Amino acid sequence: MEVVLTKQVLVLNRFWQAVNVVGVKRAFSLLVQGHAEVIHQSEGDFQLYDFDQWLDASEFSEDLEQECLHTVRYVIRLPKVIILKFFDRLPIKEVKFHRKNIFDRDDHRCQYCGKHFKESELNLDHVIPRHHGGRTSWENVVASCISCNSRKADRLPHEAGMHLIRKPVQPKWRPFVAVAENKDRNRSWDYFLKPLQGR
């Protein structure tokens, strides 16, 4: 029981965004009070369970691999992910447009030659140069290595015979790193920690 109580549970807000990680006790307290429901994936679908439903489901569970909390009165499976019913903090948040976030979006790869570089070896490149009316925006600024940057100079990519390895877009909000790097991160969290793009 000691070990079980140190397990952590991913918490989502009503928009199904990861907002926190809490201990098992806190998770159960939210469930018992009706502030949260368990999200459980079975056969590819996500199902929601309130506390009583989860208790019933635990009783009939045949999956012996599952970790359970044993109390005097019942055996209950540990939820991996819960969703808050009322708490709307951290709604969709825009990723700030600045140098570091552009490098993160581009995975520290030069968007012309595709090679990885350290942050200090990357420049920001206006795909459509400013004097051609190119804007300083997510859609027009990419990471570029110094050599590609100087080769392209003030030209449009096609004028320099260069191509972007992918189309630059504004990244969607992503759960904060603290959640992504949590020690109890497990496979059932993965879906909720992926960037929202493509979901």
Binding mask 63-82 for Zn ion (x = CB under 5 A): --------------------
What is the C-alpha to C-alpha distance for residues 16 and 18, in angstroms, rounded to an integer?
7
Task: Please report, as residue ranges, which positions from 135 to 154 form the binding site for Zn ion (by CB under 5 A).
Answer: 145, 148
What is the C-alpha to C-alpha distance for residues 119 and 146, in angstroms, rounded to an integer?
11
The length of the chain in residues reads 199
DSSP designation for 54: H
Q: How far is the CB of 142 from Zn ion (least distance, A)?
A: 10
Element (H, E) at 53: helix 51-60
Q: How far is the CB of 153 from Zn ion (least distance, A)?
A: 13
- Nearer to Zn ion among residue 25 and residue 166 (C-beta): 166
Q: How far is the CB of 130 from Zn ion (least distance, A)?
A: 20
**Applying CB under 5 A, does 112 fall inside the site for Zn ion?**
yes
Beta bridge partners of 90: none
- With CB under 5 A as the contact rule, the residue among 22, 48, 57, 113 that binds Zn ion is 113
**Applying CB under 5 A, does 122 fall inside the site for Zn ion?**
no
The amino acid sitting at 79 is P
Both structure tokens of 159: 């004028």
Site residues (vs Zn ion, CB under 5 A): 110, 112-113, 145, 148
